[in-house]
Structure 1
Amino acid sequence: MNVTELLESASLLVPQEVATENDFSVEDIWDYLVHDEWQIALNLLEELGGGIPLPLAFWEQLAEAATQLGLERSRAWCHWRCSEIMNGMIRADLTLRPAHETRRTTPISGHGVLRPMWDIGHLSPTGHTSVSIAGLWVEDMPLLHPGGRATVRLVPLTPAHWTHVQPGQLITMHEDRTVAGTAVVLEARPPSRTTPTI
């Protein structure tokens, strides 16, 4: 499919009554598509998809459209949302330790590159802390500096390890044996049992 077909198909998966914070709707997206304003249509569809759960096919089509348009950040975000549907998602308020208290002295990329270890309360058979890995996406920020604080989205590498994680729970981030940051869980969504397609 070409870009127009992908965006048209994705827009059909959004309920007609859904609107963005600025009151843009699916009808507005069709107007942009008629005028070949693909990037605007893609951005609005991403925004519409942020408010309600949409099927895997929606995000796959947006990812392919972003790829065809050469929009790397949008492509990465749409693939990330696909991962959230398949593996579950944890939103958390993360505070990184300052650079002088940890080995990290550079900012973390906000766009899902880092896959740190997390202490989420599991113990090994010998009684030591057992960590689980999850990818990290920083909401609304391209970088998170040491000592910084932001809302993050985590996608578990092994979803079964994360089933007990609940809002309000404190979890710790590790890039080595030391604590790199602490996070309070805001939301925990399990993997989707079904991945509807068109």
Structure 2
Amino acid sequence: MDTTELLRRAAGLVPDDARSGAGFGAADVHDCLRQDDWEFALDILEDFGGVRWQTVEYWELLEEAARQLFLHRKVAWCQWRGWETRHGIIRADLRLVAPEAGGRRTPVPGEGQLRPMWALGRSVAGGRGDLHVARIWVEFAPALEPGGQGSVRLAPLVPPNWRHLAPGDSITMHERSPVAGTATITEVQQPRPASARRRK
């Protein structure tokens, strides 16, 4: 399947009343495709927020289109969004501990490579924090600099262990002792049932 057809099929899955973050809809995608502007069409399609109507198929179509266009960060982003479609969205504001205070001395890479441990505010036997692994996607930047602060998305290794979190909750990031950062949850969207994520 060529890039145009991949993007056309993805546009066909967009509800008529859906709008991207910039206010575009499926009709604008079709306009781009008539002009062979595949990258802008992809930009529109990946800019629809949430997980309420997207399907796994939708993100797989966009992932393959990005791969054909050699847009490697977009390939990774579409894979990430496909994961969120299955498991839900967790966004947070992460503040890293400064290097001089014992924090990491290298940037947090932006595309989900880093998999630190997180204390979710619960205790286990012996009084130690309950630690869970989650990957980090840095939003709006290619990386988060040492001691920096920014918006991130989290992909837990075991999503059900994170279901209790809500906006305003605070969790801590751990790579080694001491704490590497503190994150405040800003958004949580639970996944739809598996049957609802399939194409109708």
Q: What TM-score do you get using the length of structure 1 for normalisation?
A: 0.92
- Report how far residue 60 of structure 1 moved: 1.2
Within a 5 Å distance, the mapping from 1:41-190 to structure 2 comes to 41-47=41-47, 49-50=48-49, 53=52, 54-190=54-190
Q: Which amino acid aligns with 1:154?
A: L
Quote the residue 1:36 is aligned against: 36
- Report how far residue 158 of structure 1 moved: 0.2
Q: Which amino acid aligns with 1:136?
A: I
Label 1:25 to 1:75 Cα distance change in 2 as closer, same or farther (>3 A): same
Q: Hey, what's the Cα distance between the residues in 1 that align with 2:155 and 2:75?
A: 17
Cα-to-partner distance string for 1:43-63 (whole Å, 9 max, x where unaligned): 11111x226632221111101
Q: Hey, what's the Cα distance between the residues in 1 that align with 2:191 and 2:26?
A: 27
Q: Which amino acid aligns with 2:41?
A: A
Aligned-pair Cα RMSD in Å: 1.6
Query: How many equivalent pairs are there?
Result: 197
List runs of 5+ in structure 2 lacking aligned partners.
none
Q: Hey, what's the Cα distance between the residues in 2 that align with 1:97 and 1:76?
A: 27
Quote the residue 2:199 is aligned against: 197
Cα-to-partner distance string for 1:80-136 (whole Å, 9 max, x where unaligned): 001112222211111011111125111111121111110002333333112001111
- Report how far residue 168 of structure 1 moved: 0.9
Q: What TM-score do you get using the length of structure 2 for normalisation?
A: 0.91
Q: Which amino acid aligns with 1:95?
A: R
Cα-to-partner distance string for 1:143-186 (whole Å, 9 max, x where unaligned): 11111111111111101211111111110011113211101111
- Report how far residue 64 of structure 1 moved: 1.1
- Report how far residue 197 of structure 1 moved: 2.6
Is 2:51–2:85's contact at 8 Å kept on the other side of the alignment?
A: no
Label 1:138 to 1:11 Cα distance change in 2 as closer, same or farther (>3 A): same
Cα-to-partner distance string for 1:20-65 (whole Å, 9 max, x where unaligned): 3443221111011122211111111111x22663222111110111
Is 2:137–2:154's contact at 8 Å kept on the other side of the alignment?
A: yes
Label 1:154 to 1:21 Cα distance change in 2 as closer, same or farther (>3 A): closer
Q: Hey, what's the Cα distance between the residues in 2 that align with 1:193 and 1:20?
A: 24
Q: Hey, what's the Cα distance between the residues in 2 that align with 1:103 and 1:139?
A: 20
Q: Which amino acid aligns with 2:191?
A: P
Q: Hey, what's the Cα distance between the residues in 2 that align with 1:19 and 1:90?
A: 21
List runs of 5+ in structure 1 lacking aligned partners.
none
Is 1:94–1:152's contact at 8 Å kept on the other side of the alignment?
A: yes
Q: Hey, what's the Cα distance between the residues in 2 that align with 1:20 and 1:27?
A: 12
Is 1:89–1:156's contact at 8 Å kept on the other side of the alignment?
A: no
Label 1:144 to 1:62 Cα distance change in 2 as closer, same or farther (>3 A): same
